[in-house]
Homo-oligomer: A and B are copies of this chain.
Amino acid sequence: MTTIKEIAKLANVSTATVSYVLNEPDKISAETREKVIRIIEQTNFKPNSIAKSLKVKKTNTLGIITEDITVFNTPEIIDGIDEYAEKNNYYILLENVRLFKRIGNNYKDTSKFVGVIREITGVLLSKQVEGIIYIGAHCRDVSGLIDKLPVPTVYTYCYTDSDISVNYDDESAAYQITKHLLKLNHKQIGIITGLMDSAQCQDRLKGYQRALYEHNILFNPEYMKVGNWERETGYTAGKELLSLSNRPTAIFALNDYMAGGVIDAAGELGLNIPRDVSLVGFDNRECSYSYTPKLTTMGLPLNAMGAKSAEILINLINHRQKDHLKNVKLKCELFQRKSVGGLL
């Protein structure tokens, strides 16, 4: 690899001159500048940013820790981070924990992998990243997972009790969906929840109830079935709801997988979606588009979450962050497709 010294020699100038051409071109006369630039281009010289970073104590590098890059939400978040970072001249060092492969389904027990995380943050810090974004595989409380770090840290798709996090607004999303159904004159709206110990599930339930309440509709416990996020429970719950004597005219499944189960159930019962019953999912996963009918579902602002995380982090790094930020919640967007119909 060519070095600045060789360029200097070839151009018959000092290394300082070359450096100025690169960093403060105005300081150098047009003539020498062009001569130097020509030689740089000819030799394909790229200044060693390692050396530069050592000197200026700035790496312009962000560390990303993903719990699992193969989880559907993660790539889009990274994409958002990446776009914002690039625009602001930051680069990305990626650490993928491979959570599921490493510790299976016990990921809720954070103690199992604090050691792994400590090692990873150590690497990132020794590589002088200026800030860290932690992307959860699954939206939950990860307090205690990362020790207090000497660089700013932002959590997304998860949160802690003391750090800045970026997520989407489950409550408002569920409210939005329920409102949408109510406006189409649905008054009997079934809901299939995920596991009840998840904050996401609780928040969505709140949004659902708030919308009902605003329309003076009493929450009917018969219309709520508890699922576990998997298609099978959507099927079971769907069957129960649709077999009710006063069956709901619309069903809100708290994720797309369970909505798929409802489609199965409706099919078996000879019910047509959306004619006989409307259906809404959540997540806008790829599969929701290939269901028959195409599923109306809630899209997550993943890209925006990534971009927002990067924005906050870079602001923190450069000490221009308003410090009142804590839990940022971005709005979701409804994707209206073919599984919802209106009532007279």
Contacts and interface: CB of A to CB of B under 8 A. Distances in A.
B257 A127 contact: no
Given A48-B126, A126-B46, A290-B231, A98 B75 contact: no
Contacts of A290: 231, 257, 260, 287, 290-291
A11 interface: no
A23 interface: no
Contacts of A286: 72, 285-287
Contacts of A75: 69-70, 74-75
A1 interface: yes
A233 B126 CA distance: 53
| Total copies of this chain within the assembly | 2
B69 A79 contact: yes
B91 A123 contact: yes
Interface in A224-278: 231, 257, 260, 264, 267
B96 A93 contact: no
Interface of A: 1, 46-51, 53-54, 59, 64, 68-70, 72, 74-76, 78-79, 82-83, 91-96, 98, 101, 122-123, 125-128, 150, 231, 257, 260, 264, 267, 285-287, 289-292
